[in-house]
Amino acid sequence: MKKEYWIILIVYITMQLSGVIGVPLVAYIGTLLGKSMQEMEIISVTSWIVISFTITLIITLVLLRKEMKDHTLMRNSASAASSITWAIGGVFLAFFAQTIAANIESLIGIEMGSENTQQIMQLIQASPIIIIVSSVIGPILEEIVFRKILFGSLHKRMNFFLAALISSVIFALAHAEIEHILLYSAMGFTFAFLYVKTKRIIVPIFAHVAMNTFVVILQLNKDNIENWLKDMEKIQSFIGGFL
C-alpha cells in the first residue's frame, strides 16, 4: 500500500476518535467567548464534526493530488458517458441492494430503522450545516477510504468477492451498528462493484452522495410524507365508496 494511503487511513481513524478531545475543547472555547456550557452542549459536537471532517478531507485530497493528475491511471477507466450512466444507475442499484438486505434483516427479526441515521438527523435539526458532512464530505471520505484504499488494495491480492466482502464488513463495522451489518455490507458491495466496473472512484462517490442526500431529504420531510399518504388513503377510500 502506498505511503499516502497509510497516512490517509491514520488521519481518518484519528478523526473518528478525535471527538474525545475536540468536543470538550470547542465547548471550553465557547465558554471563554461567553457561552454557557449548556449552550455549547450541542454546538460543540456539531462544530467539531464539521471541523474534523473538513480538515480530514483537505488532507486526503492534498495527499491524492498527484494521483488525481496522473492521466495514465485513467487509460483503462470507463468513458465519461459510461461513468455517468453507472453513477446514476448506481443510485438505484444501491437502494435495491439496501432494500433486499433490509427485508432479509426483517425476516430474521432485526427491527428496521437506524439509530445512526436518527442521531445524524437530530444533529442536522440542531445545526443544518451537518447536512454538508452527512451528504457530501462523509460519503467522499468513506469512498476514498473503504473503496479506493481498502478495497482497491485488497483487490490487487484477491478476487472481487473476497476483497468486497472484507472491505464491506469493515465499512459496516465502522458505522457501529452490528445489527445492521448486512445492510451496510450490501451497500459496500454495491459501491465496490461500481468502482470496479468503471475504475473511477467518482462513480461510487456520486451514488453514495445521492443516496445519503435522498435519505436526509426523506427524513426531513417524514411528517409531510406521512400526512400525504394518509390523505391518499382517504381519497382512495372515498372513491372506493362509489365503486
| 142 given a catalytic annotation | yes
What's the rounded Cα separation, in Å, for the pair 195 and 91?
A: 13
Instruction: List all residues 6 or more positions away from 146 whose beta carbon is below 8 Å from its beta carbon.
Output: 167, 168, 170, 171, 174, 188, 191
187 Cα distance to chain centroid: 10
What's the rounded Cα separation, in Å, for the pair 219 and 124?
A: 11
Residue by residue, pLDDT tens for the chain (243 residues) are: 788 999 999 999 999 999 999 989 988 888 888 788 877 888 888 899 999 999 999 999 999 988 777 655 566 777 888 889 999 999 999 889 988 888 888 888 777 767 777 778 788 888 888 999 999 999 999 999 999 999 999 999 999 999 999 999 999 888 888 888 888 999 999 999 999 999 999 999 999 999 989 888 887 776 665 554 454 454 444 344 445
| 175 given a catalytic annotation | yes
176 Cα distance to chain centroid: 13
Identify the active-site residue in 142, 143, 180, 208. 142
Q: Reduced to 3 states, what is the DSSP secondary structure of residue 237?
A: helix
Residue boundaries of the structural domains of the chain: 1-71, 79-243
CB atoms inside a 10 Å sphere around CB 117: 17
Instruction: List all residues 6 or more positions away from 24 whose beta carbon is below 8 Å from its beta carbon.
Output: 44
Identify the active-site residue in 67, 111, 155, 175. 175
Give the global pTM: 0.83
Instruction: Report, in angstroms and rounded to the nearest whole number, the Rg of the chain calculated over CA atoms.
Output: 21
Query: CA angle at residue 228 from 227 to 234, to 5 degrees?
Result: 90
Angle between helices 80-107 and 202-220 (to 10 degrees): 50
Angle between helices 40-63 and 3-17 (to 10 degrees): 180
